[in-house]
């Protein structure tokens, strides 16, 4: 049993000590899955690292007690700590791609770990390794054990990582975002496995994640953290269903539900909504609104890439990224596009914007055909009418340009506003429209948080006066409360300006909140398209059904 009391971790820096976590209390009983949630920077991972004694240098535990059973983890010598790690505490990391050694077979890695912690022969270790793999659900383990990590899929690799973690019979496993890199189907298998191990082997789990759905699905108890402090702790059903602390309540309000649509997320008011500064930009945008709403229809769109080369002399076989995609996005509506990683979602966005050339099909924007890829000239009207909001707000803004330059570029480029002063005035007004202060105009992107950058990215897209907006996973890099703000913003702007939006996301709950229609993409093929409510309540395709069933959600009866 792990007991953490008054844990404080500090990181010395040249500006004085930085307190990463402060006064953290937590107990995890054998067989208990203890969820640790919080937004980025809350100190979740630091708690895990402190427990296993792997705090990143120069961080140190400045106060508090850490005990596992009756061992005081703080007083251990290096050698003893090394023995405890692995023997009694194990760890599962986020990315199975990097936590396994790519040059060693699964067998060698398992045998190495087993032998490091118990004095057994190689053949006994091998036997145990095969047994472990079978236990965690890898079929035909005796043969597959000879494989290298890259020959396994992502989910299989994460199982192997779990096998490594349990190979030494630990009392506690710290799982730091163990399913974040995985698709929902694989995620649910891994979560089942964790639950099964906790139950059968009485292993205690510290499950660190930002995904409240995951916690709701498997955790027995949960601790909510914010800015290095524990906000609330208790039974999962109690904390998530009837949160006591206002922060937890706000957090729960921001989580998009899968089973119903809410009109707006309840987010704390920023306060300065009375400003009329945005009216100028709003009027300017509405001015450009003379023509009708613009839809987009795709017919039999097929995209092929060159696959891996098999022979020097033969052409590599093509790999089909999009297969006969037909999709009709109604003018003024939001089309949601969901699918797992590798399903071709981003390929579709890039094809529409002309970055990728399809091999077959037609694209029609409004009533004009869109030329493909490089044959679309730089002056084609669609360059202005179609704009995009990207996934990663850290790379979608040029870090060497001031916000003002980023925002005025489309105005200058499309020749909307000739006068530089006027352009700046419009940019400032647009910033206010997306909920930012005017003085940020002279700052650089790195001075902002992810959510603020995404607002700037939305402002940039709007300043091109688009009629059709592609949002490619616009919130997947953001914390859930920020996500709620951005989704609210996008909704407001869409209603105000009659934009047509293609909203791409892997998160089914988010799409349900945003989209009028939803399309489900799998391996480049559209599995199902339909009106969002109908698709979510009565899915027709098997694939849609399984996606909906596997997405972790909070039981409805928890909610007040």
Partner 1 sequence: MIAFVKKYEGLWLFVHSPAAMVAAVFAVVILWGAVFAPWIALVNPYDLASFSLFDGLLPPVWLDGANPKYLLGTDDQGRDMISSILYGARLSLVIGLSALAIAAVLGVGLGLAAGYYGGRFDAIVMRIADVQLALPAILTALLIDGIARGILPAAIQQDLRVAVLTLAIALSLWVNFARTARASTFVQMNKEYVQAAIIMGQHPLRVMFVHILPNILGPLLVIMTVDLASAILLEATLSFLGIGLPADSPSLGTLIRIGMQFLLSGEWWILWIPTVFLLVLVVSINILGDFLRDVFNPRLR
Distance, in Å, from the CA atom of 505 to the CA atom of 524, rounded to the nearest integer, reads 15
100 phi, psi to nearest 5 deg: -110, 145
| Piece of the chain touching partner 1 by CB under 8 A; list 192-200, 256-264, 303-311, 399-407 | 399-407
Interaction between residue 140 and partner 1 (CB under 8 A): no
Spatial separation of the C-alpha atoms in residues 223 and 43, rounded to whole Å: 12
CB of 505: closest distance to partner 1 in angstroms? Answer: 16
Q: Which of 309, 401, 446, 540 binds partner 1 (CB under 8 A)?
A: 401
Nearer to partner 1, 380 or 533 (CB): 380
- Site map 305..344 versus partner 1, x via CB under 8 A: ----------------------------------------
Total binding residues for partner 1 by CB under 8 A?
30
Cβ–Cβ < 8 Å for 532, 171: no
What SS3 state is found at 175?
strand
Q: Give the nearer residue to partner 1 in terms of CB position, either 50 or 397.
A: 397
CA distance 454 to 459: 9
Positive or negative, the CA dihedral 427, 429, 431, 437 is positive
Which 436-495 residues touch partner 1, going by CB under 8 A?
A: 460, 464
Structure tokens at 450: 């992810």
Query: CB atoms < 10 A from the CB of 76, how many?
Result: 17
CB of 14 to partner 1, least distance (A): 7
In whole angstroms, the minimum distance from the beta carbon of 312 to partner 1 comes to: 16
**Interface segment toward partner 1; rule CB under 8 A; list 363-371, 388-396, 418-426, 480-488:** 388-396
* Least Cβ distance, residue 286 to partner 1 (angstroms): 22
Q: Which is nearer to partner 1, 196 or 377 (CB)?
A: 377
User: Mask 31-50, x = binds partner 1 (CB under 8 A)?
Assistant: --------------------
For partner 1, the binding residue among 57, 143, 311, 399 (CB under 8 A) is 399
Within 10 angstroms of residue 344's Cβ, the number of other Cβ atoms is 22
Residue 374 interacting with partner 1 (CB under 8 A): no
| Interacting span for partner 1 (CB under 8 A) from 294-302, 303-311, 406-414, 423-431 | 406-414
Please report whether residue 379 would count as binding partner 1 according to CB under 8 A: yes
Indicate the residue among 440 and 526 with the shorter CB distance to partner 1.
440
280 or 394: whose CB is closer to partner 1?
394
Element holding 92 (H helix, E strand): strand 89-92
Question: Least distance from C-beta 24 to partner 1, angstroms?
Answer: 29
Long-range pairs of 302-307 with CB within 8 A, sequence gap ≥ 24: 302/358, 302/359, 302/360, 302/361, 303/344, 303/347, 303/351, 303/356, 303/357, 303/358, 303/359, 303/524, 304/359
| Rounded Cα–Cα distance for residues 111 and 522 (Å) | 38
217 or 500, CB closer to partner 1?
500
| Strand order through the sheet with 468-472 | 386-389, 468-472, 500-505, 334-338, 517-522, 525-531
In the region spanning residues 12 to 31, those forming contacts with partner 1, defined by CB under 8 A, are 14-15
Residue 373, interface with partner 1 (CB under 8 A)? no
List C-alpha distances in Å: 455 to 110, 308, 390, 475, 506: 47, 39, 11, 11, 21
Taken as a whole, the chain contains a residue count of: 560
Which chain residues interact with partner 1 by CB under 8 A? 14-15, 350, 353-355, 377-380, 383-384, 386-388, 390-392, 395-401, 409-410, 413, 460, 464
């Amino acid at each position: 049993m792990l007991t953490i009391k008054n844990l404080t971790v500090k990181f010395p820096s040249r500006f004085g000590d930085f307190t990463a976590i402060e006064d953290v209390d937590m107990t995890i009983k054998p067989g208990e899955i203890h969820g640790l949630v919080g937004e980025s920077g809350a100190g979740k991972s630091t708690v895990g690292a402190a427990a296993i004694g792997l705090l990143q240098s120069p961080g140190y535990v400045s106060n508090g007690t850490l005990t596992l059973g009756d061992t005081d983890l703080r007083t251990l010598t290096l050698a003893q700590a090394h023995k405890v790690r692995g023997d009694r505490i194990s760890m599962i990391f986020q990315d199975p791609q990097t936590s396994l050694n790519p040059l060693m077979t699964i067998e060698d890695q398992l045998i190495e770990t087993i032998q490091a912690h118990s004095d057994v022969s190689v053949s006994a270790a091998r036997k145990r390794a095969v047994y472990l793999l079978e236990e965690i659900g890898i079929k035909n383990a005796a043969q597959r054990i000879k494989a290298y990590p890259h020959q396994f899929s992502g989910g299989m690799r994460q199982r192997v990582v779990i096998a490594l973690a349990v190979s030494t019979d630990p009392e506690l496993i710290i799982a730091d975002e163990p399913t974040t890199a995985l698709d929902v189907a694989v995620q649910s298998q891994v979560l089942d496995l964790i639950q099964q191990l906790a139950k059968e082997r009485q292993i205690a789990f510290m499950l660190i994640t930002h995904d409240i759905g995951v916690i709701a699905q498997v955790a027995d108890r949960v601790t909510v953290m914010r800015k290095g402090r524990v906000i609330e702790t208790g039974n999962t059903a109690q904390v998530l269903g009837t949160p006591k602390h206002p922060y937890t309540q706000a957090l729960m309000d921001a989580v998009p539900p899968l089973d119903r649509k809410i009109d707006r997320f309840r987010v704390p008011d920023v306060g300065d909504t009375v400003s009329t500064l945005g009216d100028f930009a709003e009027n300017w945008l509405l001015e450009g609104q003379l023509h009708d709403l613009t839809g987009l229809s795709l017919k039999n769109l097929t995209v092929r890439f060159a696959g891996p080369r098999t022979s020097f002399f033969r052409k590599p076989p093509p790999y089909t990224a999009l297969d006969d995609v037909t999709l009709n996005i109604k003018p003024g509506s939001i089309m949601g596009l969901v699918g797992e990683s590798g399903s071709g979602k981003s390929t579709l966005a890039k094809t529409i914007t002309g970055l990728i050339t399809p091999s077959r099909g037609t694209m029609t924007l409004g009533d004009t055909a869109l030329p493909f890829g490089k044959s679309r000239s730089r002056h084609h009207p669609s360059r202005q009418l179609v704009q995009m909001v990207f996934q990663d707000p850290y790379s979608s803004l040029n870090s060497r340009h001031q916000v003002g330059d980023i925002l005025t570029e489309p105005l200058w480029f499309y020749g909307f506003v000739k006068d530089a002063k006027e352009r700046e005035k419009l940019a400032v007004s647009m910033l206010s429209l997306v909920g930012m202060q005017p003085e940020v105009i002279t700052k650089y992107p790195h001075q902002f948080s992810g959510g603020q950058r995404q607002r700037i990215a939305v402002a940039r897209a709007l300043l091109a006066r688009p009629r059709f907006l592609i949002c490619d996973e616009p919130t997947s890099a953001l914390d859930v409360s920020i996500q709620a703000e951005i989704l609210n913003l996008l909704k407001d702007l869409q209603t105000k300006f009659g934009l047509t939006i293609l909203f791409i996301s892997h998160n089914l709950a988010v799409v349900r909140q945003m989209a009028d229609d939803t399309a489900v993409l799998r391996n480049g093929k559209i599995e199902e398209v339909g009106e969002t409510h109908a698709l979510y309540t009565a899915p027709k395709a098997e694939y849609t059904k399984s996606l909906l069933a596997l997405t972790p959600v909070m039981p409805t009866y928890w909610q007040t």
